[in-house]
């Protein structure tokens, strides 16, 4: 059995793996958001659809990152992760809704500009939440056993 990594080394290891999982989830959710919103869906619908598309692989990859396996504790992990993830999705839905209002007023006849502004709000929300989510996932979702 390998010795347990602690301290700063542990956090750099977790952060790099968390970032990789986030890149995968972000790529999926960004593509889904752009597709659904560009096809005419409301920003909230596009946000929720994109969130669902990215949340499942993100949870699965992060569960492996923190070394959580098996069924023991899975229900609690899913519940704690869902609370954090749904809160992030709600913040993104609020941001994209407000961004669409601004984009339609600023670019009333240019759909591509509206899509760019709303997409920027979606991406920006997840960029800000990245750091917050890392600490919440580490401290609350996949807690180390004493």
Residue 111 is assigned to a structural domain of this protein: yes
So what's the pLDDT on residue 1?
43
Mean pLDDT of the chain: 87
In this prediction, residue 7 has a pLDDT band, given cuts at 50, 70 and 90, of confident
Residue 40 is assigned to a structural domain of this protein: yes
Residue 117 is assigned to a structural domain of this protein: yes
What is the domain range of residue 82?
23-60+73-143
Residue 77 is assigned to a structural domain of this protein: yes
Q: What is the mean pLDDT of the segment spanning 33-45? A: 90
Residue 4 is assigned to a structural domain of this protein: no
Residue 18 is assigned to a structural domain of this protein: no
Q: What is the mean pLDDT of the segment spanning 9-24? A: 88
Residue 10 is assigned to a structural domain of this protein: no
Count the domains in the chain. Answer: 1
> For 116-126, how does the pLDDT look when each residue is reduced to its tens digit (9 = 90+)?
999 899 889 98
> For 65-111, how does the pLDDT look when each residue is reduced to its tens digit (9 = 90+)?
888 777 778 888 899 999 998 898 899 889 999 999 999 999 999 98
In this prediction, residue 20 has a pLDDT band, given cuts at 50, 70 and 90, of very high
Whether 96 and 115 have beta carbons less than 8 Å apart is answered as no
């Amino acid at each position: 059995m390998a010795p347990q990594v602690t301290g700063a080394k542990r956090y750099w290891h977790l952060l790099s793996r968390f970032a990789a999982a986030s890149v995968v989830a972000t790529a999926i959710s960004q593509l889904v958001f752009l597709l659904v919103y560009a096809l005419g869906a409301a920003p909230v619908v596009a946000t929720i659809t994109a969130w669902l598309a990215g949340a499942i692989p993100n949870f699965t990859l992060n569960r492996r990152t923190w070394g959580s396996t098996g069924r023991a504790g899975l229900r609690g992990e899913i519940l704690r992760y869902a609370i954090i993830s749904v809160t992030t999705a709600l913040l993104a839905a609020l941001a994209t809704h407000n961004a669409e209002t601004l984009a339609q007023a600023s670019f009333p006849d240019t759909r591509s500009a509206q899509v760019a502004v709303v997409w920027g709000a979606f991406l920006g929300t997840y960029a800000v939440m990245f750091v917050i989510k890392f600490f919440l996932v580490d401290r609350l979702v996949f807690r180390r056993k004493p």
